[in-house]
Structure 1
Amino acid sequence: MEELIAWLDDQGREKRLHPLLVVAIFIVVFLEIHPFQDGNGRLSRILTTLLLLRAGYAYVPYSSLESIIEQSKESYYISLRRTQGTIRSAEPDWNPWIEFFLRALHRQKTRLEKKMERERIILADMPELSVTLLELAREHGRITVAEAARITDASRHTIKDHLKALVDQGHLVLHGAGRGAWYGLS
């Protein structure tokens, strides 16, 4: 592990390899070292997210790489075994793992783009106050009628109508009743 960390630090300074290649190689070697009795796979995916964020790929936490790997478990293990079988040889074959890794990242990015497009379509069809209420619920984790009225300067009746429509459309969920009621994301 010390050698792997030192290699990662060197790559960060020297920048000889593309950051995606550095992350891919780090992860496959980490998994080959298998430093813990249990949880190496989960930890490798957390490390992947961390390393990608450090490399400037800010979109990574917004789309699950874990679910993409879960959907292609067989390819994951085959590419992992093919590369790991050569790591300690004179000429390691990084291609099987790197190809799998880059395809998984591409699927992750594509999935996020589709999700964002769906959001744009949904938000484009909404009244401005409804969009504002949704944004407030996202920012604060929840919103009440009183908070929404204070922030937006809209009447309580108008806000209630918009919140009811957002609940009916499945964007928000109503929790509680009366003055203690609040709305959260569904």
Structure 2
Amino acid sequence: MIQTDSILITPELLGLIAEIDEFKGAWRALGTLAPERLKALRHVATIESIGSSTRIEGSKLTDREVERLLASLEIKKFDTRDEQEVAGYAAVMETIFHACQDIPISENHIKQLHRDLLRYSEKDERHRGEYKTLPNNVAAFDESGRQLAVVFETATPFDTPRRMAGLVSWLNEARELKRTHPLLVVSVFVVVFLEIHPFQDGNGRLSRVLTTLLLLQAGYAYVPYSSLESIIENSKEGYYLSLRQTQGTIRTPAPNWQPWLLFFLRALQQQTRRLAIKVEREKIVMSSLPELAVAIIDHARQHGRVTMGGMIQMTAASRNTLKEHFRHLLEQGHLIKHGAGKGTWYGLP
């Protein structure tokens, strides 16, 4: 049974929850951007989330490489493990964004999400969508790959089905009874899920997918427009430290939830603040720019780059008119120029 009676609601925790909920309530007003602007924000955030979440687990792909890969997902064949992981993560995120309210939290659906997450990973073919059959303790390794020590013991393969059943049951009961704040429920679910480490591989990525799903189901509709994963990637030391501090106590009579709750809620706070700044900047910039200039920035956001030739084709505007708009956007810092001559293209700063 998960013991949440020992959660200490400090003034800092209360303040974090209040600020995040205030942003949640204000999102309707903040989110009044045109649909194409919101789509562009989500596009950028999704690339950041996929890149960061896979890099946390060891991938080497940059956000730009992730973006190029996502532009050609119809290939369905990926040569490297990094590419396979990115493609799977992108597919699952798309499912969650479009069907979050139709995905009940059950063991079968968690297994299905895991199967989809690893759908392109050839190495994981045998175990995807199934609980682990071998121990997968979190260990430290030297540069040659030799294991130095076990950092954290996860649930045994034998205990995993029982403990996952208990976790899912606790979550659904907590959401139904509504005695615990939804942010605390999501936070506890994630840390216990990672402490169990139910699958042979992919647990970290799946935990972040489930975080997004649970927040969306709890009404935090702004989540797709600002990357929580990139905040975690930039605070990896704090992330792992808070996990270890709480996970080491979960199976005791009085778990210490505080380290993880503080890290998780501070990350959510940072996510809302980043998004508020982005939205306000969007409103100021877009209200002061001509329609053609906005179209150029939109194209750069959605495709990672924009070219003179591409905009001539798309808008039928003259080269001289577009040249003038590109010049102003460069001078104002909205675009950065890359390459020269026929190879010239423009990206966002």
TM-score (norm 1): 0.75
Distance 1:54 1:173, change over 3 A: farther
Aligned residues: 180
Of 35, 57, 71, 2:234 maps to 71
1:145 partner letter = I
TM (norm. structure 2) is 0.43
> For residue 145 of structure 1, what is the aligned residue in structure 2?
312
Q: 1:63 to 1:93 in 2, by over 3 A?
A: same
Is the contact between residue 148 and residue 159 of structure 1 (CA under 8 Å) also seen in structure 2? no
* 2:184 corresponds to 1:10: no
CA RMSD, 1 decimal: 3.3
Check the 8 A contact 2:312/2:318 in 1, yes or no.
Answer: no
Larger relative CO (CA 8 A, sep 6+): 1 or 2? 2
Paired letter, 1:80 = L
Where structure 2 has 5 or more consecutive residues not aligned to the other structure, the ranges are: 1-163
Shift of 1:60: 1.5
Alignment of 1:102-141 (within 5 A): 102-132=265-295, 134-135=297-298
- 2:263 maps to a residue whose letter is F
Larger deviation, residues 111-120 vs 49-58: 111-120
Match of residue 53, structure 1, among 195, 205, 216: 216
1:146 is displaced (CA, Å) by 4.7
Relative distance call for 1:140 and 1:104 in structure 2 (3 A) is: closer
2:122 is matched with: none
Partner of residue 99 from structure 1, selected from 262, 265, 278 = 262
Check conservation: 2:246, 2:257, Cα contact below 8 A: yes
The CA deviation at 1:144 is 4.1
Q: Distance in 2 between matches of 1:113 and 1:167?
A: 25
Q: Distance in 1 between matches of 2:250 and 2:224?
A: 29
- Answer whether contact 2:167 2:189 (CA < 8 A) is retained: yes
Shift of the 17–173 alpha-carbon distance from structure 1 to 2, 3 Å rule, reads farther
Unaligned runs of 5+ in 1: none
Identity %: 58
The 8 Å contact of residues 133 and 148 in structure 1, kept in 2 or not, is answered as no
